[in-house]
Amino acid sequence: MDAVAALRWRWLGKARGKPDVPLDEFVPGFVDWWKRNRATHHCFVAVLDASVVGMAWLAVTPRVPYPHAFDRVSGDVQCVYVLPERRDGGLGGRLIEAVLGLARDLGVERVSVHSSERAVSAYSRHGFAVSPRLLQTKPGAGHRP
């Protein structure tokens, strides 16, 4: 998990500039977070030449039961990332397939993803589509009555 934490730190550094937290502080904090959340957050990694070069997460959330199904869950694909120098070789697609395979095995009703523009086509190839009924907001944003 240390290598996954380092990959996440590197990704955030590329996307948003140098992270506020140094790598040597981020890694143990990330590993501790994972230990506390490993029942709901499942990590897949791509390994080449004994190095972690990609990752993908499936977050599983219980849903409110209804009369025909008490054990309902939904999933969210999170943090799919492949090192830039290893992209366009199919690793991202294989990570998405692994996440969706686990979702099927767990009986997940639906899987969502918040994608970068670059990755929309990859998710589309794996069955993701825009839904006119899936809405989102940021708490505190928008109108108040």
Domains of the chain are 1-38 (no CATH), 40-128 (3.40.630.30)
Question: What is the reported pLDDT for 134?
Answer: 87
- Judging by beta carbons within 10 Å of its beta carbon (0-12, 13-18, 19+), is residue 82 exposed, middle or buried? buried
Summarised one tens digit per residue, pLDDT across range 116-134 is 898 999 999 999 999 989 8
State percent of the chain over pLDDT 70: 95
What is the mean predicted confidence (pLDDT) over 100-107?
97
Q: Is the pLDDT of residue 13 over 90?
A: no
Average pLDDT in the 97-121 region? Answer: 95
Strand ranges (DSSP E) for 64-121? Answer: 72-82, 111-113
What would the pLDDT profile of 34-76 be if each residue is shown by its tens digit? 999 999 999 999 999 999 999 999 999 999 999 998 999 999 9
Q: For 68, phi and psi rounded to 5 degrees?
A: -95, -10
d(CA 23, CA 94): 28
When the pLDDT of each residue in the chain is averaged and rounded to a whole number, the result is 92
Q: What is the pTM of this model?
A: 0.89
